[in-house]
Structure 1
């Protein structure tokens, strides 16, 4: 049986640095690896990933929505992980402050942009960050679908999400 899991995450920037979490080695998902803030959506948040993202940001950092600017849905990532289809909404925003709370999920650090990709990051998120750093903020949402390339390597295919105009 294939299940579905929806998640909302945020790439938060301050003066060009990205807020990243070095995940606790005791976490089930990606222990000891680097990630951005975010998590699973609650059932009542399914139709509002922004609310889920703001909740996760507050829970993991203490940052209030009023301390975030330029909040924008930038990516929707779809992939299969074993018997689970995962759909992740990834927002970008600017943080007005750098002092953040610490949680038991991991330790938060502001990482200079040029050092981000040197961290141990799961493949799917490393690919997303590479794409964002090379394409920058876009006027549209990017859809990423993970799969296997013709050479049997993991890959992510990026497509701009556009509203087709009916004539």
Structure 2
């Protein structure tokens, strides 16, 4: 019997005007080398119950943007998927950056991309599906949960559900 492991991550989709900050990942990265993604990373053990703190740390480490330089930081998505023997849970935040100047790190190159050109890039499937959903339904006061699976034709798909608190109905 094989053991499933869990990995928790936090990602930030940052905007400034009509542009979204994207990282062209270094070809040396283990996860999605050479592809386009957003800033983010793994939760440290002390952050397991606090993905927002992890996200703010990742934003600062990868962009140089401090929490004071962000507006409307909001947990918008939670993605759950299986990758071989690992269950990955990813918390995706959206925010507006008050400035465009960002640092560069060994993670990859940061670029501000016009929203209408973001999906033209080589993006991992699950993140592409998330961005399609976000660009279609826009910012939402609700959190959306996406689970990776297959559609009726057997093609990879993300299934979206709005997260609700049944106690509030």
TM-score w.r.t. the length of structure 1 is: 0.98
Distance in 1 (alpha carbons) for counterparts of 2:107 and 2:141:
33
Relative to structure 1, the CA distance from residue 83 to residue 114 in structure 2 (aligned partners, 3 Å threshold; closer, same or farther) is same
- Where in structure 1 do 4 or more consecutive aligned residues deviate above 3 Å? none
* Aligned partner (choices 125, 134, 143) of residue 141 of structure 1: 143
1:67 to 51, 65, 69: 69
| Aligned mates of 2:168, 2:43 — CA distance in 1 | 33
Partner Cα distance (1:52, 1:40) in 2: 8
5+ long unaligned stretches in structure 2: none
Q: Secondary structure of the residue that 2:136 maps to in structure 1?
A: helix
Partner of 2:158: 156
Distance 1:62 1:148, change over 3 A: same
Distance 2:12 2:29 in 1: 19
Residue 46 of structure 2 aligns to a residue whose secondary structure is helix
Q: CA deviation at 1:165?
A: 2.5
The Cα of 1:148 is off from its aligned counterpart by 1.6
Partner deviation per Cα, 1:116-135 (whole Å, 9 max, x = no partner): 00000000000000000000
Equivalent residue, structure 2, for 1:11:
13
Q: How far apart are 1:16 and its partner, in Å? A: 1.5
Report the CA distance between 1:139 and its aligned residue.
1.2
Q: Structure 1: how far apart are the matches of 2:38 and 2:148?
A: 19
Tell me the number of residue pairs that the alignment of Structure 1 and Structure 2 aligns.
167
Q: Using the alignment, how far apart are the partners of 2:39 and 2:5 within structure 1?
A: 23
Q: State the alpha-carbon separation in 1 of the partners of residues 167 and 87 from structure 2.
A: 29
Query: What are the equivalent positions in structure 2 for 1:20-39 lying under 5 Å apart?
Result: 20-39=22-41
Question: After superposition, where does 1:90-129 map in structure 2 within 5 Å?
Answer: 90-129=92-131
1:165 aligned counterpart, secondary structure: helix
- Give, in angstroms, the shift of residue 149 of structure 1: 1.9
CA RMSD of aligned residues (A): 1.0
Deviation at 1:150, TM superposition (A): 2.5
Offset at 1:166?
A: 7.0
